[in-house]
Chain A
Amino acid sequence: MELEEAKELKERCSQCAAVSWGLTDEGKYYCTSCHNVTERSKEVINTDIIPNTKIKSISRGLKRKSKLEKGWDWYVCEGFQHILYQQAEALKTLGVAPGLKDEVLHNLWKRYLQKSKQAYCANPVYAGRRKAEVSEGNVHHSDGESGPELLSDTPWSSCLESGAESQSDAPTPRPLAAPRAPHSEAASVCSGSLDGVEYSERKEKGVVKMTVPGTLALCYLSLLWQREAVALSDLLRFVEEDHIPYIKAFQNFPEEMKLYGRDKGIFAIESWPDYEEIYKHMIEIATFLDLPRFPDITKDCFLHPNILCVKYLMEANLPDEMHGLIHQVTEMTGMGEVDSLTFDPIAKAAKTVKYDVQAVALIVVVLKLLFLLDDNLEWSLSDLAEVNNEKNKTEKPWFSFRKWYLVMRKALEEKKQEWEEARAKFMWKSEKPLYHSHIDKPVAYKRREVVVNLQKQFSALADSTLTVKKKSPSNFQLSWAEDDPDRPCFHSHSLRGVLLEKGQALVTKNSLYWLSTQKFCRSYCKHVTTYEASNFSLSYQFLLTLFSFLLRIKASLLHAEVSLIEKKLFKKKYSETKKNLRCRKGRR
């Protein structure tokens, strides 16, 4: 009987975390497991039986409590707005042009709110929905007339107009007429935001729902619009290195914006952004927002292969001379043309170039042209180069693939380990614990406290040199120096050893080429070949590993890009000799 009585209390015991309550004689709850008596006494929750007066008195008591906890009324989109604001600020400190926040990102966000009918429109989604519910005569919203001040156009848009900044410093506490009636299903379905529950359940055709990864897509769109010197992989790397708020961005919300319940599913993120996912998101949002053609990516833009390749040549410690060859390939494939580089969401099949992946793929293709990379020729060419370097010590040294490989492999392994350890040490949990519902709150806070205490203890014992020091943001992950024997630099090495003079022009010594993909898809869709590492030479695998690590992408994505370039480069040859596999490559 006793147990029966106490079943309605679902809260965990703060002592032993069990959910098993009994009632004491005074009507207070006690834990049947550890006999911990709580301060709470039995409240009447089953409203059906009890006369009206009683409900009022009891529920008033309850409400006062929840009101204290409630803080401001806020909507989910305000949460995203705050995250965007933080991200824009972070980008500004990273050196992005200041216009990005107020001119580009702000406008994109406004446009998003409008398109998704959350604001700046005649009939915002909240109001409409609410009305419908009330008219349906939903009993639980019977106090709807005095209900929370919903998004009527005026306060909402004024709030937006004042810009994101006003969010944090000048909160406009909207009067709360009466807190929302507890949800009909159960008290456990709740949220700190006004529309958290509704938002997480909302599914509307044709509307792109904002998510936390979506904020990054918006950031990237604005970067692209501004033609900033930040590629998508850079942006994501900055997120991973915690220079741009993302994982725990919600913990910087103002104190009064309470998050719990469904908000957890919306704002708590337990994965780093994935390149392809954000890329897809970005196109999706750009199409949804109906954005016009983006500013042209011309030859002097950072994202143009001519420039981006230089960056990756430096990063990968390859000779500067390769740049000329890359330039030629870019020309031949038409990849340097403005039209193919510029993002145009309105175009029929909206897609944008993965600039960074493309640049890296170009480098891989050029390396294949020079060294064939069949686990054979590159080594014999290296022998030649090393013999020559022995003989002529005064001349500019010839580039030796072997030497480069040894240096790079070591550097890659070190970096990778460093990266893995840094990831393993990443702190995912925010200082403000998130909980599903009120009954979980004390447990969540207790748990947080325990973790903090334990962490204090272990951090005192940890190797101080090993604690993750936040790296200062940098465009480069690897650096090379001419006179440092540990990180020798190959930038100035010459490609003489692998090129032949033929009349006026230089021709690659290697006249062979193998195609990465065996089959192209006939139609103009993306090809279906998948990257199976073991099918390819070790040198090629190494290159893919190296570059995909630098960009934090999957090797298969890079492989696909390499295949795409080859397809363009050998289009003619390819259609002539249909059987391919090994295709002779004749350079002019």
Chain B
Amino acid sequence: MSDFSEELTRPGSDDDQVETPMVSGTGMHFPWLRKHLDSVATGGKKKKDFAQTTGACLSLTQEALLKHQWPRAAGFMHSYLQTLEDSDSSKRQAAPEIIWKLGSEILFYHPKSNVETFNTFADQMKNIGVLNYLKISLQHALYLIHHGMLEDASRNLSQAETWRYGEKSSSQEILINLVQAYKGLLEYYSWSKKKMELSQLDKDDYAYSTEAQNIFSHSWKTSVNFSALIKTPGVWDPFVKSYVEMLEFYGDQDGARKVLTNYAYDEKFPSNPNAHIYLYSFLKRAKAPRAELLSVLKILYQIVPSHKLMLEFHVLLRKSEKEEHQKLGLEVLFGLLDFAGCRKNVTAWKYLANYLRQILVKNHLGWVQEEWKTRKSWWPTFHFSYFWAKSDWKEDRDLAYEKAFVAGMLLGKGCRYFRYILKQDHQDQRKKIKRMKKSVKKYSIVKPAV
């Protein structure tokens, strides 16, 4: 029984306490359950009024925050600080984090608060629960960045960077890496600003060489800051991007490639489309062979088939000699147009129209039918309804034309979309339409009933 009750209390005392500020509003919430858990926690004993009122105080603070009543929230916060002296050690230990989260929120928005008050608060909170030191330092720095005080933020991060508590634990390590990476990001920012200035200077200018010197001195330090973090699994887009930019600037192409490849392919990292996009654009810049580009995009295609790079992917596939690639090229286009967001993408439709004709000319009817099989039931209403015909024609004639062509190819000339566009019979497009009619007649996969 005692084990059971302990298990029950844990979610009540730890998770709930810490998480409520964040999850309130999302998910389900059972106040009665919480009460029940509390009574289990105290072993049937009456809860002390102290515990009851500080709990009430916390919810009143949260309520005031939700309603943006900052002074009111500050008033309750004033009383909630007592939990730092709670005789219940688990509550006392959870308190700093709650106080930091709610308190920083209040100070961020309170009309009478300023950077100074925030700094004092953060400095005090850092030293209460050592376990929060790094997190608070980091958030403090972000606050300063938000207020444009980059130098202070950087100083703050340097301080946090050298801080140690006990033996380096893994959670601390990642936080320290993050701290360093943010520092690196700040350095990157000043670096790229200098780079901008430099690009505006005349090369013969007297100032140029000193500026250039400055820039060079930067890079080494910054790379150290980034490299630790981006080795740990995670999503580090802004850091990776800046890091690669700097590496490329200093001509370390191999280094950049290594970073990006690792970021995209290391299995320990969470799946991240951006990693592949960065790698692709890097390879493109580096004029890498087509095969390499294709393999990167193939993965991106599996993650985000609706990405606009899929058009480039298609072009690359179309150019390929391999039949398998050519078939994939068709798949990619169909896949892209499955998404509502790409519905009005003229290029995609144009590619599809051209490619369909090209493929049908090459007599690959099977490929088309294979793709069409699953879409037959919903594409007509999704893309080729009368409504779309009308609105497409009104908005974008080129689009309407390409779509009509595809519609004709896939649904035959009896299709509404096709017929509507045909009927418009516009002067400029007469020639185009005529050609289209001809192609459709010849290649449409739906043969008119004879």
Chain A interface residues (CB < 8 Å from chain B) = 15-18, 20, 32-35, 270-272, 420-421, 423-429, 433, 444, 447-448, 450-451, 453-455, 457-463, 466-467
Given contact pairs A16-B130, A18-B166, A461-B113, A466 touches B84 in the complex (Cβ within 8 A): no
Given contact pairs A424-B76, A424-B79, A428-B50, A457 touches B120 in the complex (Cβ within 8 A): yes
* Cβ-defined contact, A458 with B77, below 8 A: yes
16 A-B pairs with CB atoms under 8 Å apart are: A15-B130, A270-B49, A271-B48, A423-B53, A424-B56, A424-B79, A426-B53, A426-B79, A427-B79, A450-B124, A450-B128, A451-B82, A455-B81, A461-B74, A462-B71, A463-B72
A residues within 8 A CB of B90?
none
CA of A231 to CA of B234 in the docked complex: distance in angstroms? 66
Chain B nearest CB: distance from A237 CB in Å? 14
* Cβ-defined contact, B70 with A427, below 8 A: no
CA of A376 to CA of B221 in the docked complex: distance in angstroms? 82
A residues within 8 A CB of B112?
460-461
* Cβ-defined contact, A462 with B120, below 8 A: no
B residues within 8 A CB of A421?
60
* Cβ-defined contact, A450 with B84, below 8 A: yes
Interface membership of B206, Cβ < 8 A: no
CA of A455 to CA of B121 in the docked complex: distance in angstroms? 10
A residues within 8 A CB of B165?
16, 33-34
Chain B interface residues (CB < 8 Å from chain A) = 46, 48-51, 53-54, 56-57, 60, 70-72, 74-79, 81-82, 84-85, 87, 99, 103, 106-107, 110, 112-113, 117, 120-121, 124, 127-128, 130, 164-166
* Cβ-defined contact, B49 with A271, below 8 A: yes
* Cβ-defined contact, A461 with B71, below 8 A: yes
The 4 closest A-B pairs by CB, nearest first: A463-B71, A462-B75, A270-B50, A461-B74
Choice from B51, B84, B113 contacting A451 with Cβ under 8 Å: B84
* Cβ-defined contact, B74 with A458, below 8 A: yes
* Cβ-defined contact, B72 with A466, below 8 A: yes
CA of A427 to CA of B87 in the docked complex: distance in angstroms? 14
Given contact pairs A34-B130, A461-B71, A454 touches B49 in the complex (Cβ within 8 A): no
* Cβ-defined contact, A458 with B113, below 8 A: no
B residues within 8 A CB of A35?
164
CA of A93 to CA of B358 in the docked complex: distance in angstroms? 102
CA of A463 to CA of B127 in the docked complex: distance in angstroms? 27
* Cβ-defined contact, A447 with B84, below 8 A: yes
Residue of B at shortest CB range from A271? B49
CA of A426 to CA of B120 in the docked complex: distance in angstroms? 25
A residues within 8 A CB of B51?
270
B residues within 8 A CB of A467?
75
A residues within 8 A CB of B107?
461
B residues within 8 A CB of A457?
117, 120-121
Most chain B beta carbons < 10 A, residue from A35, A428, A451, A459: A428
Chain A nearest CB: distance from B130 CB in Å? 4
Given contact pairs A461-B112, A463-B71, A466-B75, A33 touches B85 in the complex (Cβ within 8 A): no
* Cβ-defined contact, A459 with B78, below 8 A: yes
* Cβ-defined contact, A451 with B81, below 8 A: yes
CA of A322 to CA of B423 in the docked complex: distance in angstroms? 91
* Cβ-defined contact, B166 with A462, below 8 A: no
Choice from B46, B54, B60, B70 contacting A461 with Cβ under 8 Å: B70
CA of A109 to CA of B72 in the docked complex: distance in angstroms? 45
* Cβ-defined contact, B85 with A447, below 8 A: yes
Choice from A20, A271, A458, A461 contacting B81 with Cβ under 8 Å: A458
Residue of A at shortest CB range from B55? A424
Residue of B at shortest CB range from A459? B78
B residues within 8 A CB of A426?
53, 79
Residue of A at shortest CB range from B47? A271
CA of A75 to CA of B124 in the docked complex: distance in angstroms? 39
* Cβ-defined contact, B166 with A34, below 8 A: yes
